Each structure stands twice: as structure tokens, then as C-alpha cells.
Chains A and B, each alone.
Chain A
């Protein structure tokens, strides 16, 4: 069963509101169901550039380019994408770029697809190995405050931060069309 549709919409809407308040101007992404509302809102907002990526590491470089030019950017991806980014993360530490990514988790809660397991389980360690601070939201109520804290750490303190959005937040994926 999917998580209650209303509460999923609410925490996703809260994420977009926090990004907007923090003056995020570029939102780059490889899509995931857990990011769907934020992506739609970014596309509809004339003050925000939405950038569809072919692979997640492009977003790491893109966000650094945005910062060089004076804009704040965030990267949205699924846990599998973290593996695609590993070498590109060295750009963040070599130059100390402020960086925030929101990562929807797979392979950890009521997962149907075993192929999501290996990267999903390695995601927090992979981020930490590359020097990125990992935060995690597992309850809808804590999402806005954590995103706000991640934005502060990235753009006020210049840190590299990943916020993991637990699979339990997103709810079970329905595999059979009813």
C-alpha cells in the first residue's frame, strides 16, 4: 500500500518551500517518484531553472558552475545515483564548493527490487567516504526542518551535505497496476 497520498504531497511541498525561501535558483535532477512534486513545482516556477540530467554526476558539476556564477543550486536524485557521482564529488572537496543534494532512498524498506539493494545500502557510506555530511529524514514532520538545516550548512557554512529521504517516507511502490 502506498503511503497516504496527502502526507507525501505535504512533505514534498514543504521541501520546495524551503528551497524557494533559501533562494535556490537551479534545481537539477534525475527523476524519482519521491521528487516528483518538487520537480513539477520547479518547472512551473519562472524564477527557477529546472535542469534534467542524463546522469547524476552532471548535477554535481552543474551546481558548482552555478555557485561560481553566484547562484545556489540543489541536486535531486535517487540513492542509485550517488554511486554514479563518486569521482565527481572530488570537485566539491578540492574546491570546497557549498553543496546540497536530496537523495530518495531505495533498497532499505519494503523493497521489491533486489537490484536496488547494493547501492541503496552503500549510499550513506559512499557519501561519507567522499567527505559529504549525511543527514536523514524518516518522518514527514522532520523533513522541512532538516532541509532548512541542510541549506544552512551548505550555503551559510559552505559544507557539502546530503539529506537522505527514507524509503519509508515515500511508501511502498505498487508493482502491479490495479
Chain B
């Protein structure tokens, strides 16, 4: 039985996200609600971060719209297994466009951390890398080692092919690090760093 919970090694989420973001200074980042938003904020607030606090299932398609609008910038969606599962069809939508500058990072602990650590489908039999490949995202891979963050950063910066990376993370719950919840502020700040007017 292929149970990802039995995977020998797992990455500590904060360490992984921090290591990755330090190596992708140009990246525009969209975060899925819950812990991924906290992880990205804990790595240091940036104007190029857009933190979702809701809209579950929307992180990946939001990343697609952004990647198509900004084809010269690396766009990275950092989300969790539960959030990506809710928007799983968006992987087909993304695959149909093959945006070379888009990378989806799924921080996968196999659980819904925000609601009390109930198991997600990722620990109930679903293989997200196989799903992504089935949808046509050929460059889909999983990692279990912090050292691989470097390789993922290189793929992001190269902007050569739509990529999905499933990062097997520990089921720890680091201290909360809460980004701003004012969506209008985050939106206008994000647009301003691209030279766009508020609205």
C-alpha cells in the first residue's frame, strides 16, 4: 500500500519555504489559505506576495491568470494539499495553457491542518504527482529532502515549463505568523510593485 504518511523522510515546512523563497527573489507568489500563507509570511513579508485567507481552491487558477498577465516573471503558487484538492480541476485548466513561468508548490502533510488535522485525500490514496501528470503537467515531481529546494528554485527561475512540486512535509504546526488580512491593501501593494495603479 502506497501510503505517503509512511514516507521515510519529510521536510520541515518553514525551513523549506524559507530556503526556497530566499532563492527566488523575482518571483510573484500566491499563497493558499491557512498554513501556507503563514509559512510564506514567516519567511519575510514581500510586496510580491499575495496571501489568500479564503477562496479555497482558488490559488492555482489565480496563479494562472497572473502568469499569463506577467509572462516574463516567475509566478509561484504555494499551497497545501487540501486547498489544491478542492481546486483539482484547475490543473487541467493550467495544463491546457502550459504557462512556462508558473510553478505550483503543494506543501503536503496529508492533513487539513487548520481544522484539526483531519486526513486529506492525499493520505487516503490520492497521488498528487500522478494526478498532475494525468492532467498533462508533465513536469510533476515530489520531494522529501530540504536539499532539493535548490533544484526547485532553479526550475522556478528558469521559467521553462509548468511545474508541480509536491513537497512532503512534517505534520508539525509551527507558531502562527499572520499576514495582513486586508485584501484591498495586499492587492494594491502587489500591483504597485509591478508599477500598476491601485484598484
Contact = CB atoms under 8 A, between A and B. Distances in A.
A69 B93 contact: no
A96 B185 CA distance: 10
Contacts of A26: 65, 68-69
A53 interface: yes
Given A26-B68, A88-B55, A91-B55, A65 B92 contact: no
Interface string B26-68: 0010100000000000000000001011111111011111111
B93 A68 contact: no
B106 to A, nearest CB: 16
Nearest to B181: A94
Interface in B8-42: 28, 30
Given A66-B65, A88-B55, A95-B187, A54 B92 contact: yes
Contacts, number: 121
Give chain A's interface secondary structure class.
mixed
A77 to B, nearest CB: 14
B191 A70 contact: yes
Q: How large is the interface on B (under 10, 10 to 19, 20 to 34, 35 or more residues)?
A: 35 or more
Interface residues of A, number: 35
A68 B194 CA distance: 9
Interface in A59-86: 59-71, 73
Contacts of B55: 60-61, 87-88, 90-91, 94
A62 B51 CA distance: 15
**Chain B interface SS verdict (over half):** helix
Interface in B50-101: 50, 52-59, 61-70, 87, 89-90, 92-93, 96-97
Contact of B57 (A66, A67, A88, A97): A88
B93 A58 contact: yes
Contacts of B93: 51-54, 58, 62
A25 to B, nearest CB: 7
B123 to A, nearest CB: 24
B184 interface: yes
B125 interface: no
A132 B196 CA distance: 24
Given A55-B89, A61-B61, A67-B69, 8 more contacts: A25-B69, A51-B64, A53-B93, A58-B87, A58-B89, A68-B191, A87-B56, A94-B183
11 contacts: A52-B93, A55-B89, A60-B55, A61-B55, A61-B65, A65-B63, A68-B28, A69-B28, A71-B69, A87-B54, A94-B54
